[in-house]
A and B are shown apart, each in its own frame.
Chain A
Amino acid sequence: MKKTAYQLLEEAKKMIGKETEQIRCKYPIEHEPLRRYCHMVDDENPLFLDPEYAKNTKYGSAIMPPFALMMYLGHSSMWPSKEAVSLIMPPTPGSNYINMAQEWELLKPIRVGDHITFKTRLADVYMKSISIDPKAFWVVNELTFTNQNGEVVAIIRNRILVHRSPEEIKQDTGEQQN
């Protein structure tokens, strides 16, 4: 029998505080993904794109644009892996995701060639209605990133909304009425 939203919420709340082990990003920071990242918003900053320019700056090499870190984790998938590894997602009634908020704290530059490790903690889960789903779940993850020297380079708190599709709501409503 399908679990109700309240049953799922109870299960989800038991997961608060759960942490992953330290996860090492598959690849070191590389030039080409940063070039494609910059291209998507027409960011021509030579500090990110031009190693010759960047080596003469205080950084000594090209650095990652400040908010590219989540991209590097392949947060929706890191093909050929089938699963996203960056967020802890509890059981939810719906399966449609909308990222709602992020809080970034940037502590140290990340250079091309650095190898990043991170750990994720499920910080909170709650139910809060939205216009298209009265039983939408909100999931908060906190990610801490360290470089190959063990230095914390960034901390991100990410709040994601998980909602049911109109079809799923119709189905759930029908099951509740039976």
Chain B
Amino acid sequence: MKHEQLYWNDINIGDEIPGFSLELDETRVCLQVSGSQDWYAVHHDKGFANNSGMPERFFNTGFLTAAIGRLLTSWIGLEGWIRALTVEMRRMNLAGQVMTVSGKVTNKYVDGNEHFVEADVWTSTGDQVNTPCKAKVVLPARSK
């Protein structure tokens, strides 16, 4: 993982956040339950998912926000802080798909003595954006 510190001064609106992909295979289904401790059967039991009207098991919020968190914390470095995140589970990230996590800077500003950056971040499978999010992070600024 990246260990360099990101500074507010070095950010430009439109910058892409380095992303990554995860294969949502059977092992990942199990890891999802282990890591999130969300035992709702729709996330790990295909029959239950189908009987609920779903085409496949879909990955849970804990998993999705963990992936978004990995993207953001890797990007902002040790001195950065995630202040806020809104997450919308618009479409499902299904077992058997490959999920990509990406982001792009949309705004930067100073409020008081804090330096903020806002970004759109999302999970997608193929060209379909499934989990659009808005993040607000605080970054250190280089002294003049």
Which A residues have a C-beta under 8 Å from some C-beta of B? 33, 36-45, 47, 57-58, 65-68, 70-71, 74-77, 79, 96-106, 132, 163, 165-167
Contacts and interface: CB of A to CB of B under 8 A. Distances in A.
A42 B73 CA distance: 13
Contacts of A100: 88-89
A101 B89 contact: yes
Contact of B66 (A37, A57, A76): A37
B86 interface: yes
Contact of A68 (B32, B66, B81, B82): B66
A65 B62 contact: no
Interface in B52-83: 52-53, 60-63, 65-70, 72-74, 78-79, 81-83
Interface string B84-108: 1111110000000000000000000
A76 B40 contact: yes
Contacts of A65: 66, 69-70, 73
B40 to A, nearest CB: 5
A159 B20 CA distance: 27
A132 B60 contact: no
Contact of A45 (B1, B32, B85): B1
Interface of B: 1, 20, 22, 28, 31-32, 34-40, 42, 51-53, 60-63, 65-70, 72-74, 78-79, 81-89
A44 B51 CA distance: 36
Contact of A106 (B52, B63, B84): B84
Contacts of B32: 40
B83 A106 contact: yes
B39 A104 contact: no
24 contacts: A37-B62, A38-B70, A40-B32, A40-B63, A41-B35, A41-B63, A58-B78, A65-B70, A65-B73, A66-B72, A66-B85, A68-B66, A71-B35, A76-B40, A96-B53, A98-B42, A98-B89, A99-B61, A100-B89, A101-B87, A101-B89, A102-B61, A102-B85, A132-B53
B132 to A, nearest CB: 10
B8 to A, nearest CB: 17
A37 B61 contact: no
Contacts of A41: 22, 35, 63, 66-67, 69-70
Contact of B38 (A36, A75, A104): A75
